[in-house]
Structure 1
Amino acid sequence: MADNVPALAVTGATGAVGGAVARLLAEAGVRQRLLARHTVRLPELPDTPVFAVSYLDGPQAVNALRGVHTLFMVSAAESPHRVQDQQTFVDAAVEAGVEHIVYTSFMGAAPDAVFTLARDHFATEEHIKSAGVAYTFLRDCLYQDVLPTFVQPDGVIRGPAGQGRFAPVARTDVARTAAKILLSPEQYRNQTYTLTGPAELTMDQVAGILTTVAGAAVHYLEETYGEAMDSRIKAGAARWQAEAWTSSYQAIAAGQLAPVSPDIEQLTGTPPLGFEEYLQRTRN
């Protein structure tokens, strides 16, 4: 490999997590190459080659990844064929000679996880393991960043979460943890980490925090599985998507998105943001 070719690749750099990781690595003086479907939306970083890559295009990915030792693989956009696309990309990475994949997975990833998309993440983890490369899996809880979007226009969060607790995490904490690992990936070889916020919350508590910070009343209303599915399908969601959204609430009710994990603080030396602190920061 030529000395001037970065041996670290970051995917998804047009998104919140991948973009933040890319900027943190650049600030640390680490050379990298950025991969994305739409390169015009990538952050402009000095001396950083960019490649247009789709996870479902194996030959294209092989060309973009030649000479890469470590790959930060942000999970693909949610879709019915997500697992297949990600397996195609992993196979391309292996063919290109990638030796270590750091993959953004999901908390509680398992073949029988309540949250349907956590099953997809588990399938991808297993494919990476079977490919024979080193791995580091970052199993993220639900993002704090998306919780405000759960509020419907009438100020109500609806879903079958019951009084279950979960430990949502800020994307910024995920990004800085990933960047720390990518600075010296050998230290984290073949390890799995769970990335959460510092507190377990019920949906009632989430609604209360949103009310406090935003100044407008937000309430949580529990739905049954059937009610949740019906409302989302009537709103235009495909069935697989409605099942994913609904089962994310069910996973909270089942306790699969708790307890709090110490991994972010142990890995970075800094505790993760609480939900209210995150909201206050984004308002300023």
Structure 2
Amino acid sequence: MTSLPDLAITGSTGGLGGMVARQLADAGTAQRLLVRDAGRAPELEDAVPLVFSYADTALAGQALEGVKVLFMVSAAEAEDRLQQHYAFIDIAAAAGVQHVVYTSFYGAAPDATFTLARDHYATEARIRASGMDFTFLRDNFYLDFLPLLAGEDGVIRGPAGDGVVSAVSREDVARSAVTVLRDPALHVGTTYNLTGPEELTLPAAADILTVETGRSITYHPETVEEAYASRASYGAPQWQLDAWVSTYTAIAAGELAGLSPDVRTLTGHEPLSFAAFLQQPQL
């Protein structure tokens, strides 16, 4: 294991982790890619795929042996995600990992309105208590996610009121992460708030989507009760319904508002606006 790269990347088969891994490879940085299925790992220069699982402590411990810096993309949303995070953090500390760069969430707090932000806060606390160095990337909602809010009828429905969201592109989060990972010692103990360059109401986001896509998109405000009722037909578990609805109520509560200079500070470039993001070729 000692001959393997001492930088480990999780999530490389997904959107954010894949972007980070590709950018690191382009910069000539060696890395080990921790993946559940080696056959799905991206084929990159100086990148070694290793099979691991958040749920398999023995496998994770082997994959982390000799790792100094770990880029930890939060696990897939699940009822037991926090327990998976706890186990993985404990294994990383036991394996001798020195520095964890964790993808957290903007406004993470124990009483955050967005229910999943509470799990991110608890994960941060576990990392802090582990004794490992840390850097937290608290990204706002992704710009990439906003178009998906519209139903087949072109309507965005939710109890967001007249609140605003400072959504950030996944690309800007990836570029910020790469800056940290290429010289992690400069970022020990730092929490970065990653936002886009503008605060958007959902009606404004709908207008931008209409202009940039040619599809008529509108916003229909719901009450909280209406939001739960309109999503009940999906048969999702309660924790998932709570997460879906609190996506909007967090915006209404003002917890996704505010602009941060951290993307520009880390990357040297202004973050993408929603219109600029939509004008890019979508993969």
TM-score when scaled to structure 2?
0.98
AA paired with 1:74? V
Residues 1-284 of structure 1 aligned to structure 2 (within 5 Å): 2=2, 4-283=3-282
**Do the aligned partners of 1:134 and 1:189 also contact (CA within 8 Å) in 2?**
yes
Superposed CA RMSD in Å reads 1.1
SS in 2 for 1:282: coil
Deviations 1:197-243 (A, max 9, x none): 10000000010011001111100000111111111122222211111
For the residue of structure 2 that corresponds to 1:89, the secondary structure is helix
Report the Cα distance in structure 2 between the residues aligned to 1:258 and 1:101, rounded to whole angstroms: 27
Q: Which amino acid aligns with 1:272?
A: P
8 Å CA contact 1:151–1:218 kept in 2: the answer is yes
In the TM superposition, residue 283 of structure 1 has moved relative to its aligned partner by 4.9
Q: CA-to-partner distance for each residue in 1:53-96, whole Å, 9 max, x for gaps?
A: 11111111110000000000000011110100011111111111
* C-alpha distance 28-283 of structure 1, shift in aligned 2 (>3 A): closer
Cα displacement (A) at 1:47: 3.1
**Structure 2 residue runs without a partner (length 5+):** none
Taking the aligned partners of 1:36 and 1:248, their CA distance within structure 2 comes to: 28
Q: SS of the counterpart of 2:249?
A: helix
The answer as to whether partners of 1:233 and 1:239 remain within 8 angstroms in 2 is no
| SS, match of residue 49 in structure 1 | strand
Aligned-residue sequence identity (percent) comes to 53
In structure 1, how many angstroms separate the alpha carbons of the residues matched to 2:145 and 2:37? 23
1:39 Cα deviation after fit? 2.1
Maintained 8 Å contact 1:56/1:86 = no
* Contact 2:25 2:46 survives alignment (8 Å): no
Q: Which consecutive segments of 4 or more residues in structure 1 shift more than 3 A?
A: none
Q: 2 CA distance for matches of 1:283 and 1:65? A: 34
Q: Deviations over 1:105-162 (max 9, x none)?
A: 0000000000000000000000000001000000010001111111001110000001
| Structure-2 separation of matches of 1:42 and 1:83 | 25
CA 1:213–1:98 in 2, change beyond 3 Å: closer, same or farther?
same
Change (3 A) 1:283 1:49: closer
Q: Residue 29 of structure 2 contacts residue 46 of structure 2 at CA under 8 Å; is this kept in 1?
A: no
1:282 is displaced (CA, Å) by 2.8
- Separation of aligned partners in 2, 1:27 and 1:47: 10
Tell me the amino acid that sits aligned with residue 171 of structure 2. T
**Structure 1, unpaired ranges of 5+:** none
